[in-house]
């Protein structure tokens, strides 16, 4: 039986509490499948389905490739896998990280828009930065419904705020009003007209499906930028999407501007602490060699090494101060 609607939900920081509140409020006869991406660490135990099974009447399960979409079922992206939608079934992949995450919200939303068009209902919940904005934009462009948790109601408002800023969302509601809204929307008939999927959406879904990005057509939708991918250090290609700029490298890693700045901040901190480590290791080595040379009647060499060891320690101390006091780079929206 063809699906009337499909609901896709994305959340990050604060997401467990928010998902518990939302899904516990849905009725047992909710007649659409629900797919959920919550940002998790790769080594996370993957117990979100168990958590959700304890709070509501709808069954939740970790998604797997080939699993059929059924009304009233909750499908959760397992740790370190993207969750994608194909006609009537699910697929999980090890496609490249987006905005430093796998699973990421954008691949799920894009695939829902690609396959189901006006039948897709996208929901962006609490979280930091802006994952979900690009995917919600794709859902809206293909005739689906865009819903955002009211930022004033979100534990972490950044993801909802970004979606509101860049997407012509249909509904902005607190979590207490979201379940009744989903019931009303999924009970209404969806548009049946065929939807034309933009080539860029097709290309990005294929990258999430582990296709080679250049073979998928990345070069035809992007141009080289001046920046390197923080993950693989390849050249980032710049893409335009509505009024936003996003980036992908030729291996497929994807970043929004905010995601790229966050990754650069992490790289800068790592570099500073690596410099501290290298200077302290060098200082300890020179100090030890100086002590060794003192016993071999090479006092002048020992003194020189001791001076260099002390200089390395001073440099390490200065960089440590910088690493501890440095303010991270921020976008204008984060200030």
Q: Average pLDDT for residues 119-128, to the nearest whole number?
A: 97
What pLDDT does 60 receive? Answer: 98
Looking at 187, 210, 242, the residue that finishes a domain is 187
- Judge whether residue 333 has pLDDT over 80: no
155 and 55 share one domain: yes
Residue 229 lies in a domain: no
Res. 6 pLDDT band, cuts 50 70 90: very high
Report the C-alpha gap between 157 and 159 in whole angstroms. Answer: 6
Over residues 144-168, the mean pLDDT reads 97
Residues 38 and 118 in one domain: yes
Q: What's the confidence (pLDDT) of residue 326? A: 86
Q: Residue 11 is part of which domain span?
A: 6-187
User: Lowest-pLDDT range, 80-94, 117-131, 193-207?
Assistant: 193-207
Is 160 in the same domain as 266? Answer: no
Last residue within a domain, chosen from 157, 187, 217: 187
Residue 202 is assigned to a structural domain of this protein: no
The answer as to whether 279 is a domain residue is yes
What mean pLDDT value characterizes the chain?
A: 93
The pLDDT of residue 242 is 81
pLDDT-based confidence at residue 294 (cuts at 50, 70, 90): confident
Structure confidence at residue 329 (pLDDT): 76
CATH number for position 105: 3.40.50.180
pLDDT surpasses 80 at 222: yes
3-state secondary structure string across 173-233 = ECHHHHHHHHHHHHHCCCCCCCCCCCHHHHHHHHHHCCCCHHHHCHHHCCEEEEEECCCCC
Specify if 66 maps to a domain: yes
Residue 335 has pLDDT above 60, yes or no: no
Phi first, then psi, for residue 256 (nearest 5°) are -80, 175
- pLDDT number for residue 296: 64
- Name the residues annotated as catalytic: 12, 39, 131
- Asked if the structure places residue 63 within a domain, the reply is yes
Q: Does residue 206 sit within a domain?
A: no
The partner residues of 148 in beta bridges, in order of sequence, read 124, 172
pLDDT digits (tens, 9 = 90+) for 37-48: 999 999 999 999
pLDDT in the model for residue 1:
63
**Within this chain, do residues 268 and 172 fall inside the same structural domain, yes or no?**
no
159: in domain: yes
Q: Which of 187, 205, 222 is the last residue of a domain?
A: 187
Is the pLDDT confidence value at 53 over 60? yes
Q: Pick the residue with more confidence: 138 or 329?
A: 138
| pLDDT of 146 higher than 90 | yes
| Number of domains composing the chain | 2
Confidence of residue 227 (pLDDT cuts 50, 70, 90): very high
Q: Are residue 166 and residue 272 in the same domain, yes or no? A: no
Is residue 43 in a domain? yes
> What is the band of 331 on the pLDDT scale with cuts at 50, 70, 90?
low
Token digits of residue 58: 């709808």
Contacts of residue 183, defined as CB under 8 A and 6 or more positions apart, other chains included, come to: 26, 27, 30
């Amino acid at each position: 039986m063809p699906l009337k609607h499909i609901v896709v939900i994305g959340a990050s920081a604060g997401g467990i509490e928010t998902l518990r509140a939302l899904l516990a409020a849905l009725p047992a006869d909710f007649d659409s499948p629900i797919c959920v991406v919550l940002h998790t660490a790769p080594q996370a135990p993957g117990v979100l389905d168990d958590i959700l099974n304890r709070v509501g009447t709808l069954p939740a399960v970790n998604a797997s490739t080939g699993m059929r979409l059924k009304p009233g079922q909750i499908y959760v992206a397992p740790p370190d896998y993207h969750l994608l939608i194909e006609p009537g079934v699910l697929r999980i992949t090890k496609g490249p990280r987006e905005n430093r995450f796998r699973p990421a919200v954008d691949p799920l939303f894009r695939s829902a828009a690609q396959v189901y068009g006006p039948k897709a209902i996208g929901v962006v919940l609490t979280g930091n930065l802006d994952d979900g904005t690009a995917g919600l934009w794709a859902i809206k462009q293909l005739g689906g419904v865009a819903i955002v948790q009211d930022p004033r109601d979100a534990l972490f408002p950044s993801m909802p705020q970004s979606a509101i800023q860049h997407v012509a969302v249909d509904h902005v509601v607190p979590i207490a009003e979201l379940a009744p809204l989903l019931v009303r929307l999924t009970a209404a008939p969806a548009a049946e007209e065929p939807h034309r999927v933009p080539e860029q959406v097709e290309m990005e879904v294929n990258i999430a499906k582990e296709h080679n990005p250049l073979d998928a057509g990345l070069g035809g939708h992007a141009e080289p930028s001046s920046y390197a991918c923080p993950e693989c250090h390849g050249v980032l290609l710049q893409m335009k999407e509505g009024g936003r700029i996003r980036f992908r490298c030729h291996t497929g890693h994807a970043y929004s501007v905010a995601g790229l700045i966050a990754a650069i901040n992490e790289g800068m901190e790592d570099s500073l602490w690596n410099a501290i480590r290298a200077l302290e290791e060098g200082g300890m080595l020179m100090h030890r060699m100086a002590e060794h040379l003192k016993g071999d009647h090479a006092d002048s060499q020992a003194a020189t090494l001791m001076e260099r060891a002390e200089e390395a320690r001073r440099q390490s101390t200065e960089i440590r101060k910088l690493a501890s006091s440095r303010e991270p780079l921020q976008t204008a929206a984060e200030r």
